[in-house]
């Protein structure tokens, strides 16, 4: 793995980032002491992320969904608010 000093990294940042994105990580050092490792992210490509609503049309919610269990709740806690 290539080690680059911080001054050199600043002047060649674009090239180094492209190199890392291709899968060639490198280390940035200051005064010969390694500080950070730069490597490509494993982020998903556009279109690979799951989106809300991906089950649209596949699940049915009953019309009485908001009132399901009302009788049981009233029995347990009474009708007083």
The CATH superfamily label for domain 2-38 reads YefM-like domain (3.40.1620.10)
Per-residue pLDDT tens digits for 49-63: 777 888 888 988 888
Q: State the average pLDDT over residues 20-26.
A: 92
Cβ 38 vs Cβ 15: under 8 Å: no
Rg of the chain over all Cα atoms, to the nearest angstrom: 28
Residue 28's pLDDT is what?
Answer: 96
Sorted by where each begins, the domain ranges of the chain are: 2-38
Cβ 40 vs Cβ 21: under 8 Å: yes
- The set of residues, in sequence order, having a beta carbon less than 8 Å from that of 9 and lying 6+ positions away, is 16, 28
Q: What is the Cα–Cα distance from 46 to 20, expressed in whole angstroms?
A: 20
Does residue 13 have a pLDDT over 90?
yes
Write down the mean pLDDT value for the chain: 87
Beta strands 33-38; 2-5: pairing state: unpaired
């Amino acid at each position: 793995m290539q080690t680059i000093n911080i001054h050199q990294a600043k002047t060649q940042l674009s090239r180094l980032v492209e190199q890392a994105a291709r899968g060639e990580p490198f280390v940035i050092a200051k005064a010969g002491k390694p500080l950070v490792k730069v490597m490509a992210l494993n982020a998903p490509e556009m279109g690979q992320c799951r989106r809300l609503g991906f089950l649209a049309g596949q699940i049915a919610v009953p019309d009485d969904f908001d009132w399901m269990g009302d009788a049981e709740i009233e029995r347990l806690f009474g009708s007083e608010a």
